[in-house]
Chains A and B, each alone.
Chain A
């Protein structure tokens, strides 16, 4: 008989798995972590290459030469921005019109659920200005976007200037097969969200905006430019978008290819490339770059203005000019040449970018790890959960029961019923209560901010964040309270059934998360899987409780904040870290309501209740 259909063989297999369960789990965990760390090791990574045939090599002749004029336009823009105290709409419209574009504006307004302390805004009102360069001979079916943000103060003036300079240069060429949209958005991501929603006729976040008067066709690719200095020393590429979505790797390959051709220093995650991969420090560097990307992707927020394009299946990336203390400086003309080359190559595209990878990790700009190579790291961790569920099922004798239905059907049925019926009831209560707590964590902070401000001397943002933390810690006290509500049965079967349910639930949750956002799934798995695997009511309570709290989603977030600051080479003290943690929570809630980021709902509605279930198991009487 087959291995799984023969009851004797199956029993033997399950016995083997049950005996070896703990060592197997440990081995899997260590293997998963080692696999993840080994991803950045250079011989295991692949060199990036251009997959799209239509883009070919970098053989175009860049002729842009008006860098100085672009900088002058940038200075004019800055002066008018200061005078207008925001976006100088009239001047920008006139400037774009004089360069031969079709100019349109869009105004938008949004009231944030609570004031944003990082960017100091609450009721946001603004205008986007965009000009369309029509392709001379092509039908208006496809478009490319070049955008620069209009930031308060003195940042990103040169970006707008370069945008205007490029617009003027592009207007004189006849080889454009797609329309090019030059967009200057106000209030960075909020303005970008309004523009994209208006362009695609969707309204997912409750923003109010005026409809767009001019349109250019379906957008094939978008580049966002951030340039705040006249000369730069390096260009940083930002890829991570909303909910951890990444643009097609070909866009990064295109950027890298042109950087090499023109001779501009290019970085990713702000880190330079190194060639000494066989040394420990080289490997260290690659691991740091990859970990930064993992943390940024896991946060689920768009790290540049491009991040919102990805949701509409538009490949987009942001380029940030960095001016540090280096001897070799690149001027605006060279940056303009790089953009010209990239746009000419994107112009050659016949279809959307789809030949290269959509899921990847970049330990450096020239090396990548594709989903086929990094997924086993997560599956090894998920395997632990499956092994544990097998043990639980075996302990519940469910496996054996299902295997021998012939032997005493009546007794068997009765037994099963006896086993499951208290099980179902006792499981349902903790599940429902945990999820209700999750719902409270999701809705109450914003709803109750007024009440909190009345009674406590805190600002609205602090009220929201502190309410969230309060509900989170209140959940820790649940087991003591729910046990009074329960029918008083703290049976062995009860917690085993609950554990089985919790482990399977966690496995499904983490699996789905890892498919969409591998980094988030992996980080959550790293902390939650050991908890789920080893929690029982019989372990030493206090020690386990402390460990569980340390490995809970909230503390994971705190730890990630510290690790992120370390990797950025800007380590913070405990207090500063705590403040960053609070602002991270508020940003997460804001991102969810402004752009539809899914991190906060996922954590509060699904992951936190799951963790509460495990917490319930720990305190099972």
Chain B
């Protein structure tokens, strides 16, 4: 009995010791989870959904945009945080056999127009100027809140564009175009004004990949439905309505998004796999080199939904200690770093660590070839062809 007791006492001591060690580990675990809770970086979500076409035969572009709108609303982003730009001439078009509806599936399974669509920019207000003003925030003071993108430096923004496009441009409503350079500059303005934390750019047009070629601001991820030189194709016509209802890429995107719920853990790598070439006929592309996090760790709901992260725990958590002021580490004689000028406030090159572009070797220009041919001809005309053997 005595040995058992002493043994037990020993085991108890070891157990207590272990517990003592484990306790900080356990609390460390909770703290780690807590730190993870607050490490995603964004606190609010915005969406800018733009359909750049009008007219009845571009029904599918409006259906595309409304499908994404529907998914984004379902996953939690409220209307106040969505800027929807549509020509909005489909539902009430004289040619619509089912007035006040916009269908995205044939046999009229899914009416994406619904009864709670809030279009912020409709009709002729969908212009390049309005789009860029929305992005950069340079709107006149009289603009209502519903037409503004009031994002801050902790906002994740989803931007979705659809319509007719070409190599390096996107057509807005048959009268103007936006180029990829303009778009890249608009995003740079947004970055400099700290108007986004991370931005996901999706474009479903012909040659859509050309639109994200020129991006140079950090924290941008881009997806496109087709590469340069390819056309994005439409999916299915509805014979009763008489038009194509959706584009392929957005159709499969919608199918994918229908499976996402606010708590799902699907990440961006799954999104990149949407609509492979066998289904889409065009090759979807994506660009992640400007994005700092690994796409595999980015959740779909980071952009498509407005998910409030709530974790219930009964543990007490020690929030991080207050920030310690860093002492000025001036050494005598060492020059202080210059105050950075406005342009260099956020040195992008340091953040992005872009590799310098490798210049591809081009065959010599026609001009240079012609010049050398001319020189050789003159030489041989003057001195005669018999001198050729002296050269070679």
The residues of A with any CB-CB pair to B shorter than 8 Å are 53-54, 56-57, 59-61, 135-138, 173-177, 344-345, 347-348, 350
**Interface bits B30-67 vs A (CB < 8 Å: 1, else 0):** 00000000000000000000000001110000000000
With A138-B94, A176-B94, A348-B95 known as contacts, the answer to whether A59 contacts B57 (CB < 8 A) is no
- Nearest chain-B residue to A341 (Cβ)? B242
Given contacts A175-B242, A345-B242, A350-B55, 15 further A-B contacts (CB under 8 A): A54-B55, A54-B56, A56-B244, A57-B237, A59-B242, A59-B244, A61-B239, A135-B94, A137-B94, A175-B94, A177-B93, A177-B94, A177-B95, A347-B95, A348-B56
Residues of B within 8 A of A135 (CB): 94
Q: Is the CB of A174 within 8 A of B97?
A: yes
Q: Is the CB of B57 within 8 A of A56?
A: yes
- Which of B57, B237, B240, B242 neighbours the largest number of chain A CB atoms within 10 Å of its CB? B242
**Interface bits B91-133 vs A (CB < 8 Å: 1, else 0):** 0011111010000000000000000000000000000000000
- Nearest chain-B residue to A175 (Cβ)? B97
Q: Is the CB of A175 within 8 A of B96?
A: yes
Q: Is the CB of A173 within 8 A of B97?
A: yes
Residues of B within 8 A of A136 (CB): 94
Does any Cβ of A come within 8 Å of B298's Cβ?
no
Residues of A within 8 A of B95 (CB): 175, 177, 347-348
Q: Is the CB of B94 within 8 A of A53?
A: no
B32 to chain A, nearest CB (A): 57
Does any Cβ of A come within 8 Å of B352's Cβ?
no
Selected from A137, A138, A344, A350, the residue in CB contact (under 8 A) with B242 is A344
Selected from A53, A61, A348, the residue in CB contact (under 8 A) with B240 is A61
Q: Is the CB of A54 within 8 A of B94?
A: no
Closest 10 CB pairs of A and B: A61-B239, A177-B94, A59-B237, A138-B94, A175-B97, A60-B242, A137-B94, A177-B95, A54-B57, A175-B95
Chain B contact residues, majority secondary structure: loop
Does any Cβ of A come within 8 Å of B290's Cβ?
no
Selected from A56, A137, A138, the residue in CB contact (under 8 A) with B243 is A56
B362 to chain A, nearest CB (A): 37
**Interface bits B68-102 vs A (CB < 8 Å: 1, else 0):** 00000000000000000000000001111101000
Residues of B within 8 A of A137 (CB): 94, 99
B62 to chain A, nearest CB (A): 16
A-B pairs with beta carbons under 8 A, tally: 45
User: What are some 9 contacts across the A-B interface (CB < 8 A)?
Assistant: A56-B244, A59-B244, A60-B242, A61-B242, A137-B99, A173-B97, A175-B94, A347-B95, A350-B55
Q: Is the CB of B55 within 8 A of A174?
A: no
- Which of B57, B99, B243, B244 neighbours the largest number of chain A CB atoms within 10 Å of its CB? B57
Q: Is the CB of A174 within 8 A of B240?
A: no
A214 to chain B, nearest CB (A): 20
State in angstroms the CA–CA spacing of A175 and B59 once bound together.
15
Q: Is the CB of A348 within 8 A of B242?
A: yes
Residues of A within 8 A of B94 (CB): 135-138, 175-177
- Nearest chain-A residue to B234 (Cβ)? A56
- Nearest chain-B residue to A59 (Cβ)? B237
State in angstroms the CA–CA spacing of A175 and B243 once bound together.
13
Residues of A within 8 A of B97 (CB): 173-175
- Nearest chain-B residue to A56 (Cβ)? B57
Residues of A within 8 A of B96 (CB): 175
State in angstroms the CA–CA spacing of A174 and B100 once bound together.
13
State in angstroms the CA–CA spacing of A138 and B92 once bound together.
10
B97 to chain A, nearest CB (A): 4
Q: Is the CB of A53 within 8 A of B57?
A: yes
Within B221-275, the residues touching A (CB, 8 Å) are 237-240, 242-244
State in angstroms the CA–CA spacing of A177 and B92 once bound together.
11
State in angstroms the CA–CA spacing of A510 and B238 once bound together.
51
B381 to chain A, nearest CB (A): 27
- Nearest chain-A residue to B58 (Cβ)? A53
State in angstroms the CA–CA spacing of A57 and B239 once bound together.
11
State in angstroms the CA–CA spacing of A174 and B93 once bound together.
11
State in angstroms the CA–CA spacing of A362 and B244 once bound together.
31
- Nearest chain-B residue to A174 (Cβ)? B97
A349 to chain B, nearest CB (A): 10
Residues of B within 8 A of A53 (CB): 57
Q: Is the CB of A348 within 8 A of B57?
A: yes
State in angstroms the CA–CA spacing of A136 and B93 once bound together.
11
State in angstroms the CA–CA spacing of A54 and B243 once bound together.
10
Residues of B within 8 A of A54 (CB): 55-57
State in angstroms the CA–CA spacing of A175 and B238 once bound together.
14
Residues of A within 8 A of B238 (CB): 59
**Interface bits B359-389 vs A (CB < 8 Å: 1, else 0):** 0000000000000000000000000000000
A192 to chain B, nearest CB (A): 28
Residues of A within 8 A of B99 (CB): 137, 174
Residues of B within 8 A of A350 (CB): 55-56
Residues of A within 8 A of B237 (CB): 57, 59
A61 to chain B, nearest CB (A): 4
